[in-house]
Chains A and B, each alone.
Chain A
C-alpha cells in the first residue's frame, strides 16, 4: 500500500479543463520529432502513457515558435508555421481517446541553441552574452525582433488551440529566451526590457499577453520556470517568487510548472536533471514555497520516481500536479497499475539518466530497462499471450536472462531459469556496488519480482550444464551467460592487472597508490575510482580518450567529474597503457601519450584496468551443433517483428542475448531479450 495514493487519483480542474488525476509527464525532447513534426513514433510514445492512465501528458519540450529558434538540433517540433496543425489534431485525438489531456511546451530558445543548423540564423538574446552550454554568442534583440517573437508566440498558441491541444506552457526555464530576459546575468539592457526586475519581466509579459489575446481567456496557458537558479548572478528564490506571483496575479498563466536550478553549464544541467546520486524530489521545496504565494495550480518535476514520493508531494500540499516524466519512460502504465491495485508491478525509474543522456548527443530517448519505450510501433509494453506453450530454458539471471524469462513467461511459456550465483542481477549487481550507482539494483529487483510472480522456475545457485538443460527437453534455449572482464592487451596485464570487477566485488581491496586505466569511458572506471579514493587510495585515472568518462552523458558525467575532483583523483587523458611489470613489491605501469607517443611510468601499488567484458560462451558453443538453428538469430525476422523461422519439432532452437554475444550495455541486453522473446 502506498500512503495517501488516493491523493494522486483526484481530478484537477483548470479553467474548465478537468485532468483526471494528479500525475503528469512534463514536456521533454525525446528526439522523436521528424521534419519538425510530432509524427507516429512521437504520438505513439505519448499515447502509451494515455493508455496507461496518466492525467496530463505534455510533449514537445522546447518546441520552437520562431525560425531563429531551430527545432532541428533536438529532432524536435516546430510550431513556427501552420503545417504542424494537422499533426496536433491527429495527436490530440489519439491521446484524448484514452481520457488523458495533451499539452505542448512553446519557447524561443534565444541564445540556448545553434546558429549552424536548419535556417542558419544567428541566435538571439537580451544581450550578447555567450552561454557555456550552447556555445553561441547571440545577437542583441532589437525592438523589431522583440515584437516579432511576441507575435510568433501568439501565432504558435493559436496553432495549439487549432490543433486541439488542451493547452500549452511557455518555457522560461533552463535559460530560454524569456528567462534570459529575466536573468540579470544575461540581460544587460538599459532600455525598458532591462534593469529593474519589472523591466526584465516585460518581454515575457508581452509574449503571454499576446498569446492570451490570440486564444482567449479560456484556453489553458502555463509557464515553466525555475524556483531558484542557484547561482550568484542568476535569479534568486525571491526573484522567482516575485515573477511567479506577478505573472499569476496578472492572469497571464493558469499554472506554474516549477523546477529548481538552471542549465547554463554542464554541472548545472546535471543538477537540474537529477540522476540517481540525488535524493528523490530534491527540489520539492521550491514549488511548495511558490504554491503558498499563488492562486494557480503548481506543477513540478525533478526526480519524483516513485508513487510514495508523488503521493506525499500532492497529499501534503506541496504541488497540485506531480510530474513523473522519467518514471513514465520506465513504465508508461504507472497510473493504471496504481489504480488497479498493481502498484507492485510498476517498473520504477532508477534514475540512470540513460534516456536523457542519449538526447544530448543527438540520439533518441530510450529507457535503460524498458526497451519498449519509444518503440511502441514495434515493441509491446504489455506482452500478449501466445497460442502455443513452449518449454523455454534461460541460462543466466542478469538483465538479459531475466527479461527473456519474463517475456517468455508472459507469452505463456513454461520457463526454467538457471543462475550460477545465489542472487540474480549479473553485472548490475557488480555495478550497483559502486557508491551512488546502487539504485541500478532496482532493475534487477523489478525483473525478479515479475519472473517470480509469473511462476518462472528459478534455479539459483545452479550452474547450468548441457546435460541439465537438455534434461528439461527444451523447445528454446536462451543463453544469457553475460561476460567477464577483459584485462586488455597491455604486456603483463594478465599477470599484474586487476579489473574494476575485482575492486567492486571486493575480490581485491587495493591500498596505497592505484593507477586505473580505462579504455571504455563509461561509469565503470569512474565509479571504481570514486570508491577507491573514498577508501583512502591515491588514484589516477588514465584513459586514451580526450577526457575521463568521455562516453558518459550530460546528466552523469558532471556528477562523476565533481566527485573525482572532490576526491583528488588525478585525471590523465590521452594515455595508453602499454606495459605492467613488478618492481620490488610494487608495480610499474608504462603509459604512452596517444598524441606524442612520449612514454611515462608510474610506480604504484595496484594497476586496475577497465576494458569491458568478453562473452562467457562455452555453454552456447556446447549446445550449438545440436540446435535446429545452429545458434543463429535470423536478424531479418527480428527487424520485421516476426517469429524466428525455425522448426522446433526437430529439436531446440538456441539463441544468445546480452553480453554473452558481445559486451554492450543493460539496454542492449534487455532489448535483445524482449525482441526475441515477444515473438517466441
Chain B
C-alpha cells in the first residue's frame, strides 16, 4: 500500500492534465498571439510570488488562506508523488513529513471553508466553489490519515484503505475540476502568468496603453470568444471569481448592469457549451438576454450572451484590473468588444453617433470650431506656437477648454505658468481632440485618424515637453501615440506645478486649515501611476489633507471615463454621487481634482457638498491670499 498514495497522485496529475488539455483545445480556438515563452517561464516565480502576491495580500485573510492551502497542496502532493521512489516510500520519517504537509493542507482547507460557511461574502461566487473546501479537506484529511498510518508502520489496514479512499475522492475531484471548476484557476493562472498578454505590467511597471488595431484586419475587434487571442482566453479561465473586481467597479456600485467578474465568466461560458452555471452576483438591473446555446457565438446583443448595456456601462477606469489577483485585463476585453460593435456593426451608444461623426469631421466631439478652444482665455493673450515655432512647454489644452467651468482651471494654470515665467505656447486652432473618447467608444478608425493628425501637427514644432491638465490627453500623448511616432516628455500640470514650487519659481501661499480631500483621476493614478505630486502641492499650500477610503491607485472613478457619460446607461445611482458621498464622509470642505472630466462629473453633483477645485485653482488661491 506504500505506493497507493503516489499512484493516486499520478492518477490525479494525469486526470488534471487530461482535463487541462481538453480545456486547452478551447483556448486554441482563440487567435494567434506572440508569446515570449522563455522569459515568461523564467519570470513565473517572481510574477507569482511578487506581483500576484502584492494584489492578493490586500486581503490578509485570503492571502494567509491561499498560502497555507495552495502551499500545503503543492508540497503534500509532490511529496506524496515522490513516495514512488522505494527509498522514500519505505521511510516512516518521510511519511511523517508527508503527513505534516497534508496537515497544513487540511488546516488551509478549513480556512477555505470558514470563508464560505456558514455564510460567504457576497462578492464570492457560490456553485461549485462551495464544494471546493470539502474536496480539499477530503484530499488533505485522507492524505494526512494515510501518511500518518504509513508513518506508524501500518502497511495495509482497513483504516489506511479508508483514508486513501477519502483522499482519492477529494484528490480526483480536485483534478476533475481543472476543466470546469475552481481548480481551473491554478492551471490556467500559472500558464497565464507565463503567457500574459501585457508582460510589461510586471515588476511594478505600468503597461496600460491600448494596443492599436490593424484596421485592415478581416474582423475588427472581438465578436465571439474566438476573436480574442488564445492567451486572453486563457487569462479569462484563470479567474477564481473572488469578486474583488465587482467590489471595485463603479458601474456595479451604481447599479448599472456591469459586473466585471460576470463579464469574464460570460467570455468563459461563451467558449464552450457545457460551462456550469454562473453562481456569482449578477449584472445589476440587467435587461433580459437570450443567449444562444452554441459555443463561440456572438457575445454582444440583446439576443447574445451580454447585453450592450453591460458593454457601454464601463468607464474604463481599470479599477477591476488593479484589483484582480489573477492579473486579468478586463478593460482590454471591453474595448475589443466595443471595437467590434462600433466598427463592424455601427452600433455605438445611441448618443455617441453624432459625437463620433463630429470627431471625424471636425476633430472635436462637439463639432465646435477648433479655433474656439482658446476662447476661454480671451484677453489673456495665449501665445500660439505657430506664431513662434517653438516653446519650452507646449500646453495641451484638451476638451476641457471648451467648458465654462473648466476654463477657470485653465485660466488659473495659465496665470501660474506666467507667474513662474514658464515659456509656453498652445497649438491654438491646430489642436484636435486626442481621440481618447473615440478610442474608448470603440472607434479605433477615428482615433487613429486624430492621432496621426496630432502627431503630424506636433512634429512641426519644437518644444521641450508637453504639459496638460487633462490626464486622458496625457495618457494618449504619453503612452498611446508612441506607436504613431509621437515620443515626447508629457507632464501633468500638477507635476509641473510641484516642480515650479520646488524650484522656487512659484511661491505658494497658505490656505491655513482648509480641509481638502484629493480625488485621483483614473487616467493619472491608475493608468500613469502619478498620485504624489498633487498631494505634495496640497501639503505645500498648507491644506489639511484628508484621504477618502479609496485613494491613490485604488481610487474610485468619477464616472466620466470611457465615454460612459455618453452611453448614459441607467442604474440605481450616479457614480459621481457615490464618489462625492465618499468625499463628504471625510468632512473635507473641498474636493481637489486634477482632471476636466472629474471636475465636470463632481461639479454635477447636486445638494450640499464640498466645493470642487482643481489643484491649480487652489494653488493660485493660496498665492492670492498670501500676496
Which A residues lie at the B interface, using CB under 8 A?
Answer: 5-6, 9-11, 18-21, 55, 99-100, 339-341
Give the top 6 A-B pairs by smallest Cβ distance, nearest first. Answer: A20-B379, A11-B378, A20-B378, A99-B379, A6-B404, A10-B375
B405 engages A341 (CB within 8 Å): yes
Q: Is B35 an interface residue (CB 8 A)?
A: no
A21 to B378, CA, bound (A): 7
Residues of chain A lying within 8 A (CB to CB) of residue B206: none
By beta carbon, the residue of chain A nearest B402 is A6
Question: In the complex, A11→B428 CA distance in Å?
Answer: 14
The B539-560 residues at the A interface (CB cut-off 8 A) are: none
Per-residue interface assignment for chain B, residues 67 to 91, with 1 indicating a CB less than 8 Å from any chain A CB and 0 otherwise: 0000000000000000000000000
Q: How far is the CA of A18 from the CA of B405 in the complex (A)?
A: 22
B408–A11 touching, CB < 8 Å: no
Chain A: CB-nearest residue to B603: A341
Hey, which chain B residues are within 8 Å of A339, CB to CB? 404, 407-408
Interface string of B388-410 (1 = CB under 8 A from A): 00000000000000111101100
Within 8 Å of chain A (Cβ to Cβ): is B376?
Answer: yes
The 8 A CB mask of B347-390 against A (1 = contact, 0 = none) is: 00000000000000000000000001001101110000000000
Determine the chain A residues whose CB is within 8 A of the CB of B404 once the complex forms.
5-6, 9, 339, 341
Whether A341 contacts B379 by the Cβ 8 Å rule is no
Interface of B is mostly: helix
- A21 CA / B379 CA spacing, docked (Å): 8
Q: Of A18, A21, A100, A341, which is in contact with the most chain B CB atoms at under 10 Å from its CB?
A: A341
Chain B residues whose C-beta falls within 8 Å of the C-beta of A340 in the assembled complex: 408
A598 to B375, CA, bound (A): 71
Q: List B contacts of A11 (CB < 8 A).
A: 375, 378-379
A10 to B376, CA, bound (A): 7
- The main secondary structure of chain A at its interface with chain B is loop
Count B interface residues, CB 8 Å.
12
Min CB distance B236 to A, Å, is: 44
Q: A5-B404, A339-B408 are in contact. Are A10 and B372 (CB under 8 A)?
A: yes
Counting residue pairs across A and B whose Cβ atoms lie within 8 Å, the total is: 33
Query: How distant is the Cα of A21 from the Cα of B377 in the complex, in angstroms?
Result: 10
How far does the Cβ of B601 sit from chain A's closest Cβ, in whole Å? Answer: 15
List of B residues within 8 angstroms of A6 by Cβ: 402-404
Query: B402, B403, B407: which has the most chain A beta carbons within 10 Å?
Result: B407
Chain B interfacial positions (CB closer than 8 Å to A): 372, 375-376, 378-380, 402-405, 407-408
Which of B376, B379, B407 gathers the greatest number of chain A CB atoms within 10 Å? B379
Q: B367 to nearest A CB, angstroms? A: 14
**Within the complex, what minimum Cβ distance (angstroms) separates B71 from chain A?**
57
Q: Give the complex CA separation of A20 and B374 in angstroms.
A: 11
Are A18 and B407 neighbours in the complex by a CB distance under 8 Å?
A: no
B402 cross-chain contacts in A, Cβ below 8 A = 6
Cα-based distance from A9 to B378 in the complex (angstroms): 8
Q: Provide the residues of chain A in CB contact with B378, threshold 8 Å.
A: 9-11, 18-21
A9 to B402 alpha-carbon distance, docked (Å):
11
CA distance A18 to B380 in the complex (A): 11
The answer to whether A341 touches B376 (Cβ under 8 A) is no
Closest to B380 in A: A99
Chain B residue contacts of A55, Cβ below 8 A: 379
In the bound complex, what is the Cα–Cα distance between A10 and B405 (angstroms)? 14
State which of B375, B380, B408 has its C-beta within 8 Å of the C-beta of A341.
B408
Cα(A11)–Cα(B380), bound, Å: 11
- CB within 8 A of B376: which of A9, A18, A19, A100? A9
Which chain B positions have C-beta within 8 A of A18? 378-379
Report the minimal beta-carbon distance from A33 to chain B, rounded to whole angstroms. Answer: 28
Task: Give the most central of B376, B380, B403: most A CB within 10 Å.
Answer: B376
Q: How far is the CB of A8 from chain B (nearest CB, A)?
A: 9
A21 partner residues in chain B, CB cutoff 8 A: 378-379
Cross-chain contact A9 with B375 (CB below 8 angstroms): yes
Q: Chain B residues near A9: list those with CB within 8 A.
A: 375-376, 378, 404, 407
Distance, CA A327 to CA B560, complexed state (A): 37
A-chain residues with CB within 8 Å of residue B375 when the two chains form the complex: 9-11
Alpha-carbon distance between A9 and B375 when the two chains are bound, in angstroms = 7
A6 to B408, CA, bound (A): 12
Q: How far is the CA of A9 from the CA of B406 in the complex (A)?
A: 13
In the complex, besides A6-B404, A100-B379, 9 extra interface pairs with C-beta distance below 8 angstroms are A6-B403, A9-B378, A9-B404, A20-B378, A21-B378, A55-B379, A340-B408, A341-B404, A341-B408
In this complex, what residue of B is CB-closest to A10? B375
Complex: chain B residue closest to A22, CB-CB: B378
Q: How far is the CA of A19 from the CA of B408 in the complex (A)?
A: 18
A1 (CB) vs chain B CBs: closest residue: B404
Within the complex, the shortest CB–CB distance from B234 to chain A, in Å, comes to 50
Residue in chain B with minimal CB distance to A8: B404
* A341–B402 CA distance with the chains assembled, in angstroms: 15
Cα A605 to Cα B402 in complex, Å, equals: 65
Contacts of B403 in A (CB 8 A): 6
A98: nearest residue on chain B (CB-CB)?
B379
Quote the shortest CB–CB distance from B374 to chain A (angstroms).
9
**Could you say which residues of chain B place their CB within 8 Å of the CB of A10?**
372, 375, 378
Find the B residue at minimum CB distance from A99.
B379
Residue of B nearest to A100 (CB): B379
